[in-house]
Amino acid sequence: MNISIKAALLCSAFAIASPALAAGTHPVTGEALADNQTYTYRMLDDVKSFDPQINTDVEGSHILRDLFEGLVNSDAQGNSVPGAAESWEVSEDGLTYTFKLRDAKWSNGDPVTAGDFVYAWRRLADPATASEYAWYMELMGVENATKIVAGEAEVDTLGATAIDDKTLEVKIDAPRPYFPGMLTHASTFPVNQKVIEAHGNDWTKPGNLVGNGAYVLTDYVPGVKVTRERNPMYWDNDNTILETVVALVINDENIALTRYDAGEVDKTEVPAGQYPALKEKLPDETYSTPRSCSYIYMFNLRENGPEALKDVRVRKALSYALNRDVIVDSILKGGQYPSYNWTHQKTAGFEMPSIDYATWSQDERVAKAKELLEEAGYGPGGKPLELTLNYNTSEAHKKIAIAASQMWKQNLGANITLANFEWKVHLDKLRNGDFGMARYAWCGDYNEPSTYTDLFTSTSGHNNGKYINEEYDALAKAAKTSENPAEEYKQMEQLLADDMPIVPVYQYTNVIMVKPDLKGYPFEDLMNNIYSRRMYKVAE
């Protein structure tokens, strides 16, 4: 209750402090702004944590991007633009980055310093924090991160140093041309040491939480809603237009849509399969935009995996015989992309290789599939092809799996048993290699192909099917230092198409409804990095 009263006071304080921006015109576009600058959106599930170094999920990241600001932001198209860092330089060898911080303040008035970033990054890597995203520090390749996470080096040996209050130097272990882009990730956001030490575990509670973002957390009702109000201390507060951003937890997508229709939320997800109908009914509010995730069936290529799958011809036959168009157009119906490769095709710096079977007609694919299967000695006249496909409980996964098994049955005479498992059981089986084929999906951490391609290197912890190809590993390594890594990525995708360790199924889209008076939503950003301060509501 106390928290809500505080929120009320804050609300009214802001209302008095900044009446000029509540109405008027947009400073850049000149559009007439609505009086009510409150943006309310639907959130599928409750926030797991407001702590940048602890949060692991996408919905939490949307909120953290409002409450905190990292060194680098992404613009509406997903390009890296300065955030808390005004500018940065990289050394000749590509191993040292020097970030110049802008003059900015925390929401309690403290200046934001390079030391705040050093503190946050050490905190992320520190085994005592036990962050699930500690590996992100390793992925970024910050010097000594791997040793620190493993407890083999002290946290203060991390390759991030505050040269002075406004200069941060970061040393990485290998050149990564996409390094600045990785810094848009919420786990790299700074935190205020003083505040964390003063409040301990309760530092993320509304009223305690201090951030350097455009908004401050004013109210949190677990399982119900999260409210944030504009932060007058933010360096670019003059250009913030939305006063209040409210995330409502609504689990059921159909109820969320009803509440959208009733005007309670400004943005929600389109329930599965309803996109075509809604697009027809409300063409100006219904969107399908690319989203950086890829959906596949993974083959188990381990020793203990099914014998049949050790033959590349069988794997190819299964992939060719799958009609992706049916899955995308008749089951998902949300503008998803039928997929013949692994990396999401809209990823920045990715050039699609000319994968042969992507250009064939489905009839050609099926004919080729039959031929390959026969050569391998399976199917009609040969050994029966019997496999199991694991998927986790979900209406959509089930529909796709049923369709796929029908296609394999019809086209190849294969008997694919469907095995449905509860989520954690499914993951457990994946980890332990206890599957023949399994549904899998991956979402990119940053907008660059290596976030996908690294997954099938032999040392990757996510390569559950244990696809091992030295050439692939060498290419992955070469891509890190390559002048034009697009070439390596292309070759890696080509190897995946030749060896077919996975069946690519489809690539994701965000299928959402957005009220027409809400402007500035980053539809074009593949990574879906939403910054509320760039959005605004126009007068109707």
Q: Quick one: tokens of 506?
A: 């489809």
Phi, psi (deg, nearest 5) at residue 346: -95, 5
Please give the Cα distance from 149 to 310 (Å, whole number): 36
82 CB-contact burial (10 Å; exposed 0-12 / middle 13-18 / buried 19+): middle
Please give the Cα distance from 195 to 112 (Å, whole number): 13
Please give the single-letter amino acid code of residue 463.
N
The distance of closest approach from Cβ of residue 104 to another protein in the complex, given in angstroms and rounded to an integer, is 25
Closer residue to another protein (CB): 337 or 442:
442
Please give the Cα distance from 388 to 405 (Å, whole number): 10
Closer residue to another protein (CB): 127 or 516:
127
* Angle (nearest 5°) at CA 263 between 257 and 269: 30
Q: Are the C-beta atoms of 321 and 366 separated by less than 8 Å?
A: yes
Closer residue to another protein (CB): 208 or 469:
208
Q: Quick one: tokens of 397?
A: 């996964």
Please give the single-letter amino acid code of residue 93.
D
Please give the Cα distance from 459 to 303 (Å, whole number): 17
The distance of closest approach from Cβ of residue 65 to another protein in the complex, given in angstroms and rounded to an integer, is 18
Closer residue to another protein (CB): 225 or 346:
225
Closer residue to another protein (CB): 149 or 327:
149
Closer residue to another protein (CB): 18 or 129:
129
The distance of closest approach from Cβ of residue 11 to another protein in the complex, given in angstroms and rounded to an integer, is 7
The distance of closest approach from Cβ of residue 405 to another protein in the complex, given in angstroms and rounded to an integer, is 22
By CB under 8 A, name the binding residues for another protein: 1, 4-5, 7-8, 11, 46, 48-51, 54, 56, 127-128, 130-132, 134-135, 138, 149-151, 201, 204-205, 219, 221-225, 248-252, 254-255, 258-259, 261-262, 264, 422-425, 427-429, 431, 440-442, 461-462, 464
Closer residue to another protein (CB): 23 or 441:
441
Q: Quick one: tokens of 136?
A: 């992100």
Closer residue to another protein (CB): 161 or 460:
460
The distance of closest approach from Cβ of residue 2 to another protein in the complex, given in angstroms and rounded to an integer, is 9
Closer residue to another protein (CB): 3 or 358:
3
The distance of closest approach from Cβ of residue 474 to another protein in the complex, given in angstroms and rounded to an integer, is 22
The distance of closest approach from Cβ of residue 211 to another protein in the complex, given in angstroms and rounded to an integer, is 14
Helix orientation angle between 362-375 and 395-412, rounded to the nearest 10 degrees: 70
| Ranges of H-type helices in 327-435 | 356-359, 362-375, 395-412, 423-431
Please give the Cα distance from 276 to 279 (Å, whole number): 5
537 CB-contact burial (10 Å; exposed 0-12 / middle 13-18 / buried 19+): buried
The distance of closest approach from Cβ of residue 151 to another protein in the complex, given in angstroms and rounded to an integer, is 8
Question: Distance between terminal CA atoms of the chain?
Answer: 35
The distance of closest approach from Cβ of residue 48 to another protein in the complex, given in angstroms and rounded to an integer, is 6
Closer residue to another protein (CB): 148 or 514:
148
Neighbours of 423 (CB within 10 A): 10
Closest CA to 169 of 235, 119, 99: 99
Q: Quick one: tokens of 229?
A: 């109000």
The distance of closest approach from Cβ of residue 386 to another protein in the complex, given in angstroms and rounded to an integer, is 24
Q: Quick one: tokens of 144?
A: 């000594």
